[in-house]
Amino acid sequence: MSDDAYMSFLDKANADLNAGLKTQQGTEPNGTETVDATTQIPTPLQSVDSYYISDTDEPFEPVSLFWKGAKQGTWPSPGT
């Protein structure tokens, strides 16, 4: 393998993964998020100092997503 071919391989491997996920209309794909833009992270979750025990030992990331029924005390279930 030539140096140019190897560099081309490395450039492709390090390219932005989201660049290939755009739809034909040119819009960004739906991604996952852990904090909804319209919600606040509850205070007790902001101060958690724990790590996921795994190969990478990632720090805890709080999750706060919007749910319409939360104000009425209704929560997601397998049927919703």
Tell me, what's the pLDDT at 38?
Answer: 77
Q: Which helix (H) or strand (E) holds 63?
A: none
78, part of any domain:
no
25, part of any domain:
yes
33, part of any domain:
yes
Q: For residue 64, what are the β-bridge partners?
A: 35
- In the chain, the number of structural domains is 1
28 has a pLDDT exceeding 80: no
80, part of any domain:
no
21, part of any domain:
yes
59, part of any domain:
yes
26, part of any domain:
yes
Dist CA 40 CA 78 (whole Å): 25
31 has a pLDDT exceeding 60: no
- The better pLDDT of the pair 28, 51 is held by 51
Tell whether pTM > 0.85: no
Q: Residue 14 belongs to what domain range?
A: 3-72
Dist CA 61 CA 68 (whole Å): 23
